[in-house]
Amino acid sequence: MTAGCDSYAWSELFDQIFSATPWPMLMLGEDGTVLGASDEGHKWLRPCNSWGDTPLRERAAHYVSVLRGSTSWLTPQEAESVRTLPSGASAHERIHVRRTAWGACLTIVDQTDVRRLQTMDIQSARLAALGFMVAGVCHEVTNPLTSLHSIVQILQSEKHVDKELLDKGLSNIAINVKRLLDVSRRLVKFSRVDDEPRVRFAVDDAIEEALSVLHQSGSLREVELSHKLDPTATVFGNTGQICEIFLNLFVNAVQAMGGKGRLNIATRSAGQMLEVLVSDTGPGVRADAIVRIFEPFFTTKAGTHGTGLGLAISTEIAHEHGGTLELRQTSPHGASFCVTLPKERL
Ligand code: ADP
């Protein structure tokens, strides 16, 4: 599909050269007017084509909005587009704009099937990861269930349960049930690859969203916060999941500091990758825990405060996005975790 060309001669030439190509090709003027179309391209102009999609003429405005810059046709670039089809399904397309001597060439590559296969791959990888976790899951679930069983037995064996014993038993039951629910909710959430489309977004927006959850819960009331932004830091992926990585890291940092201290977040570019460094002024990771913190179900938090799934799930999400999560540094003065994610190509 070409743009930036307005002469009749060009459109005739286009018809002669491209009319018989097997691909849908269109030549557009700068205002989006269709100047020429290949035979396949003509199908795309009809109000209802064989793909059940909206005609290309109406889609031109959407593609322009996805592109960057006021003269987006004139800037060589690549972008991702996610459109909702009349059927309600999502169409994922990759858009390439190339400058030519006579205008600009806009190529739209339909990647809907590729994305669907990627989602299926991620789903299989997650189920495999859960498979590896099964032994841990059984262990995690068995402990609270054993506690529940013995509490119920004690209460049943007493003829007259006094108030103190009853209160103790009930609070023990509540703790164990909460733990079971926490583990099961996190695993159910992790096992599902939700169909939130992968999009291009500023990584700092995901950080701010995670921070707003903590602000709302009041956890940052006594935390001094510093967030060094990098507005050029864009990634391609699932916003909700990337936000979950940051939420896990921030919750861990705040809990490590006992709700009081300094939380530093810095986004910066590192070659092809983006780095987000999350540092706190807590007591650092316990020396005997350093090698185990990324293991599913490993937690040093007492009671119902930890499931030991935060870092394991966050690592899995980072890997799915082509990135990493690591402990960069730890000392008695604090811990720093680093998330790397591939930069979205401009
Ligand atoms: P959970 O928070 O449920 O324990 P995680 O997988 O998120 O599970 O963390 C595992 C363990 O890693 C924590 O229990 C804690 O010992 C350690 N950890 C994580 N973040 C920090 C931090 N910022 N400072 C000190 N220790 C940490």
Ligand 1 centroid, distance to 144 Cα (angstroms):
21
In this structure, the residue with its CA closest to atom 20 of ligand 1 is 252
What are 121-132's pLDDT values in tens digits? 777 777 777 776
Q: Does ligand 1 come within 6 angstroms of the Cβ of 310? A: yes
The residues, any chain, with a CB within 8 Å of residue 36's CB and separated by 6 or more, are 10, 11, 12, 14, 15, 18, 26, 27
Ligand 1 pocket check: which of 190, 252, 281 to mutate, most ligand atoms within 8 Å of Cβ?
252
What are 97-150's pLDDT values in tens digits? 888 777 778 788 888 888 778 777 777 777 777 776 776 777 778 878 888 888
Q: Does ligand 1 come within 6 angstroms of the Cβ of 252? A: yes
Q: Does ligand 1 come within 6 angstroms of the Cβ of 327? A: no
Ligand 1 centroid, distance to 117 Cα (angstroms):
34
Place of tokens 């859960």: 130
Signed CA dihedral, 48, 49, 52, 54: sign only = negative
Q: Does ligand 1 come within 6 angstroms of the Cβ of 308? A: yes
Stated as kind and residue range, the H or E segment containing 187 is helix 163-191
What are 203-218's pLDDT values in tens digits? 999 999 999 999 998 9
Ligand 1 centroid, distance to 134 Cα (angstroms):
21
